[in-house]
Amino acid sequence: MYALIDCNNFYASCERVFNPSLNGKPVVVLSNNDGCVIARSTEAKALGIPMAEPAYKLKELIEKNQVTVFSSNYVLYGDMSHRVMTTISEFAPEMEIYSIDEAFLLLDGFQLIDLKAYGEKVVRTTTRNTGIPVSMGIAPTKTLAKAANRFAKKYPNYKSVCVIDTDEKREKALKLLDIGDVWGIGRQYATKLRYYSINTGWDFTQRTKSWVRHTMGVVGERTWLELRGTPCVEMDRSTSKKSICTSRSFGERLTELEPISEAIANFAASCAEKLRKQKSLASILMIFIHTNPHATNQPQYSNQKVIHLPVATNDSTELINFALQGLKSIYKKGYRYKKGGVIVSEIVPERPLQGNLFDTKDREKFNKVMTVMDNLNASYGKQKVKIAAQGFDRKWKLKNEKLSPCYTTKMEDVLEIKV
């Protein structure tokens, strides 16, 4: 059996842990740059505030109903997530962290255990230890566990835990599960399936395997099998990412090469840090910039540059260098740039290092510099030491006017974000 544990309204719940006066009141959290709504408390949902709605469209509704609004505070959410995951990991031999607020547990050897009682204990303990309310779905496949989790959240009678462990329960659940709410079926497929009168998870399972394969490929076939109780999506045991991206909308539109360079240098440095953290190297770097696609009355430009690195690396100076070269090759004057980013891929473990015969760089030496820099920043706060190209102007920095304090981490982190 698999369990899926999911934090309820995660970001909104994190904010409330440190603002208990907001319990029972509508709270929303905005995306970076205070752009869209990305989390809503139950009360905010009840007001009809939709997910992913641009904040400026909601101004009236927010004022009228005294909704408390927060900028997203990923330092806080990341730390709270870590607390939740640590608590959950005590309850099963194997855990897969699926997202910042979700984890799968593999319940091998639980044949004799009362799963409902077990689930309730996990939920109770996690909420007590962290202050974050969670829900749990338990079923023979991940896709069914996802469905069970939905029901655990939706119907208070389940007391936050729903178990699908018989065919009768499976049938009953799938008949109530909207096709668009099935894990793995997004908007495109939902529309297509509805056209064929498939409106629930159950309808979908009644089609033939070959029809599903033909209409939706192997991915759809896996979903079909999973809904019928045959597990095909295994626990993901990989420890390192296959690609790493740092990208941002700029706080204000940028037109000149210089501030954009500064931003790109910071994105590259961030990718390098993430690589070092997971002890790996990247062989490919991609940089991109584009104007605001929503501003249809303005000239549009979007471009990217892929750079094959001579030797796989996680060195900030090297990645910044290549990223800035790439930027120069695609930057064009006369546009108002809105967003840029750096993506590294073709990621390999740090050791053993595959060298290049013609490599002239003293990698050992640069490695030591990076280690010292990481250590200093770990002790004294983020970005205390950085590469000069990252600059100090920060014209590109995001807007986040409603940021909460980083209650659980160092003050430096707060300062870093407020600069």
Partner DNA sequence: TCTGGGGTCCTAGGACCC
What's the CA gap between 205 and 208, in Å, rounded? 8
Q: Which residues in 119-178 contact DNA (CB under 7 A)?
A: 146
Per-residue tokens: 320: 């910044």
Element (H, E) at 251: strand 243-254
Q: How far is the CB of 197 from DNA (least distance, A)?
A: 17
Q: How far is the CB of 93 from DNA (least distance, A)?
A: 22
305 binds DNA (CB under 7 A): no
317 binds DNA (CB under 7 A): no
Three-state DSSP class for residue 308: strand
Q: Out of 16, 153, 339, 397, which residue is the one contacting DNA (CB under 7 A)?
A: 339
b/e per residue 229-239 (b: at least 16 CB within 10 A): eebebeeeeee
Q: How far is the CB of 122 from DNA (least distance, A)?
A: 18
Q: Which is nearer to DNA, 247 or 317 (CB)?
A: 247
Per-residue tokens: 242: 């296959």
Q: How far is the CB of 118 from DNA (least distance, A)?
A: 23
Q: Closest Cα partner for 136 from 80, 181, 91, 73?
A: 91
In the set 43, 102, 262, 273, the catalytic residue is: 102
What's the CA gap between 237 and 233, in Å, rounded? 12
Q: Out of 48, 93, 217, 355, which residue is the one contacting DNA (CB under 7 A)?
A: 217
Contact characters 21-50, DNA, x per CB under 7 A: ----------xxx-xx-x------------
Angle (nearest 5°) at CA 397 between 82 and 338: 110
Q: Is residue 168 among the annotated active site residues?
A: no
84 binds DNA (CB under 7 A): no
Instruction: Please list, in sequence order, all residues whose beta carbon lies within 8 angstroms of the beta carbon of residue 199, skipping any fewer than 6 positions away.
Output: 178, 179, 193
Beta strands in 292-359 (DSSP E): 302-313, 337-349
Q: Out of 128, 237, 294, 351, which residue is the one contacting DNA (CB under 7 A)?
A: 294
201 binds DNA (CB under 7 A): no
Q: Out of 2, 77, 104, 189, which residue is the one contacting DNA (CB under 7 A)?
A: 189
237 binds DNA (CB under 7 A): no
What's the CA gap between 88 and 74, in Å, rounded? 20
Binding site for DNA (CB under 7 A): 6, 31-33, 35-36, 38, 52, 54, 56, 98-99, 101-102, 146, 182-190, 217-219, 241-249, 253, 274, 292, 294-295, 306, 338-339, 341, 343, 398
Q: Which residues have a catalytic role annotated?
A: 102
